[in-house]
Structure 1
Amino acid sequence: MPSLRVIGPGRAGGALEVALGAAGWQVLPARRRGDDVTTAASGVDLLVVATPDALIDEVAAAVAPEPETVVVHLAGSRGLDVLGAHPRRGALHPLVALPDAALGARRLAAGAWFAVAGDPPGALALVERAAADLGGRSFRVDDDARAAYHAAAAIASNHLVALLGQVERVGAGAGVPLAAYLDLVRATVDNVAELGPAGALTGPAARGDWATIERHRAALAPDELEAYDAMVRAVRRLVDARDDDASRP
C-alpha cells in the first residue's frame, strides 16, 4: 500500500490520516506548525499539504521537491499552481463537512465524493486511488473551474445552514421549534435527488401565489426580508427556466 504524510494534521488533514490509515495506507509522522518541512516529501508516496488555503503556497515552497512524491492540497478553490515547482502535483478535496478529525475520518470512509486533479497522469492516478481506497467517488475538476466548483459547495453547505438559521428565527416567532421543520427539509432534499431542483419545487413562489407571499412579507421582521425576497427571486428563476424548457419543441 502507498505511504502518506500530512503537513498540518488538523480537522481535514487529521481525518485523512485516520481514514487512509484504516484503509491500509502507511501513515508517516506528520509535520505540524513550527516543524521544519524541508524533507517532508522524502520517502513518501503522497504528501498532503493540509494547511489553511492562504498558506499552501508558502508551505509547498518550503518543501524540497522529490521526483517520485505526489504533493497534494485539500483546498476546493485552489489550482495545482499553488504547489509550485513540485514535479508531481495533485488536489484532493473532500465534498463533505469535516468538523473534527474523528468524525471527519468516518465521513471520508462512508462513500464521500472527492474533487480531484493531478499532473502528470501518474500523479492523478494516485490521487484517485486515495479516494477509491476510502470507498469514495471522485470527479475531476480543472484548475479554471475550481472556484466555481467550490462556490457551489459553499452554497450547498454554508448557505443552507444560514437558510436554516432563518427558519429557526422565523419559526421561533410563531412558537415552532426548528426540529419541526427538519423532516420537511429532509423530504425536500430527497425530492431534489429524485426529481431535480425544478421538479421538486412547491410552495407559493413556485405557483405564483403573490397574495400569500405578501402575507409572508408582512409577518417577517424587516431584517429577514432581504433573504426572503432573494430566495423568492431564486425560485422564480428556476420556474422560468423550467417553463422555458417545457415550451421548447
Structure 2
Amino acid sequence: MRIIGGGRAGRSLGAALGAAGWRLEGYLGRDDDPRVAAEGVDLLVIATPDATVGDVASRVEPVASTVVVHISGSLGLDVLSPHPRRASVHPLVPLPDPDVGATLLRGAVMAVAGDPMAREVVGALGGRPVEVPDEHRAAYHAAACIASNHLVALLGQVERVAAPVEVPLDAFLGLAATTLDNVARLGPAAALTGPAARGDDATLERHRSALAPSERRAYDALAAEARRLSGRGGTGRGAAVDAADDRPEG
C-alpha cells in the first residue's frame, strides 16, 4: 500500500491499516512526483483534498493490477480515470489527527464503491461497509456534513448564546450527548422534545427576544425543522422566514 497525501486523513488511514497488518510503502507529498506511485503495490490511496484528486490520479501511470482508491465522500469513481481498477472508501468519522483518527477508524461505518478491495480495506479495520453509488455521492456527503460539521456549528451557537449568562459550553454537552443517544435508540421523531415539538409559540417568542439579532435566523430555521419533524410543519416564524427567502429579488 502507498498513500498520496500526508495529511490527517491519509496518515490516519495509513496508521490504522498498518496496525491491522498491511505494509505501508510510504507517503507521497505535494513535492513528490506521483508518476510511478502505483508500481509495486496492490493499493494506492489518494488522500488529497477533493479539488486535487482528479489531477493527482491523472498524473499517476496506470498499473493494471493496482487498485487506486480515493477517500472523498462527494466524488465518484470517474475522477480516478484512466486507472482500470478504481474504488472509493469514505469513513463516517472525523479525523482530527493521525493518532486519534487511527483509533476512530477501527469499527467505523465507511461508504464504499467500485473494486472489491474497498470492502477488504473496511473489513481489515473491522468496519461496516455501506454501498453508495456515484449518483448518490453528493447527497450522501451532504448528510455526512450535516451530521458532523453542522452539528459542530450548532454547538458553536450554543456557546455564543450561553456566554452572556456565564454558563460554559461543557454544561450543555451532556444534554447533547443524551439527545444523540435517544436518537440512536428511538429515531429522530420520537426523540424530539421542546417547545417547537409541542407547539409552544409563546416560549419560542421568549427565546427569540432573548437572542441577539445575529442568532435569530439560525434559531428560526431550526425551530421550523423541529416543527416539520414533529408533524407541525408550515407554521410559526421559521416558516415565514423560509417563505421570505423564496421571494425573488428586485
Answer yes or no: same fold by TM over 0.5: yes
Q: Deviations over 1:147-202 (max 9, x none)?
A: 00000010001110111111111111222111111111011001000110000010
* 1:194 and 2:185 are equivalent in the alignment: yes
Question: Residues of 2 paired with 1:36 and 1:172: CA distance?
Answer: 50
Counterpart AA for 1:8? G
Counterpart AA for 1:7? I
Q: Deviations over 1:128-158 (max 9, x none)?
A: 0111111111101000100000000100011
**2:162 equivalent in structure 1:** 171
Counterpart AA for 2:32? D
Question: Residues of 2 paired with 1:35 and 1:207: CA distance?
Answer: 59
**2:54 equivalent in structure 1:** 57
After superposing the two structures, state which structure 1 stretch, 218-227 or 28-37, moved more: 28-37
Per the TM alignment, residue 29 of structure 1 is displaced from its structure 2 partner at its CA by 2.1
Counterpart AA for 1:99? P
TM-score (norm 1): 0.91
Counterpart AA for 1:203? G
Trace 1:20-59 onto structure 2 (pairs within 5 A): 20-59=17-56
- Could you list the runs of 5+ residues in structure 1 that have no partner in the other structure? 243-249
* 1:11 and 2:8 are equivalent in the alignment: yes
Q: Is the 8 A contact 2:70 2:88 kept in 1?
A: yes
Q: Secondary structure at the match of 2:2?
A: strand
- Could you list the runs of 5+ residues in structure 2 that have no partner in the other structure? 234-250
Q: Is the 8 A contact 2:91 2:105 kept in 1?
A: yes
Trace 1:9-158 onto structure 2 (pairs within 5 A): 9-109=6-106, 111-118=107-114, 123=115, 125-158=116-149
Question: Residues of 2 paired with 1:173 and 1:35: CA distance?
Answer: 50
**1:212 equivalent in structure 2:** 203
Structure 1 outlier segments of 4+, above 2 Å: none
Per the TM alignment, residue 64 of structure 1 is displaced from its structure 2 partner at its CA by 0.5
Question: Residues of 1 paired with 2:35 and 2:69: CA distance?
Answer: 16
Question: Residues of 2 paired with 1:12 and 1:209: CA distance?
Answer: 44
Counterpart AA for 2:110? F
Counterpart AA for 1:26? R
Per the TM alignment, residue 31 of structure 1 is displaced from its structure 2 partner at its CA by 1.6
Equivalenced residue count is 233
Question: Residues of 1 paired with 2:93 and 2:36: CA distance?
Answer: 30
Question: Residues of 2 paired with 1:169 and 1:34: CA distance?
Answer: 41
Question: Residues of 2 paired with 1:105 and 1:165: CA distance?
Answer: 26
Match for 1:228 among 204, 219, 228?
219
Question: Residues of 2 paired with 1:31 and 1:214: CA distance?
Answer: 55
TM-score (norm 2): 0.91
Counterpart AA for 1:126? M
Counterpart AA for 1:190? D
Q: Deviations over 1:104-126 (max 9, x none)?
A: 111112x11101011xxxx2x21
Question: Residues of 2 paired with 1:9 and 1:175: CA distance?
Answer: 41
Question: Residues of 1 paired with 2:36 and 2:6: CA distance?
Answer: 17
Counterpart AA for 1:31? L
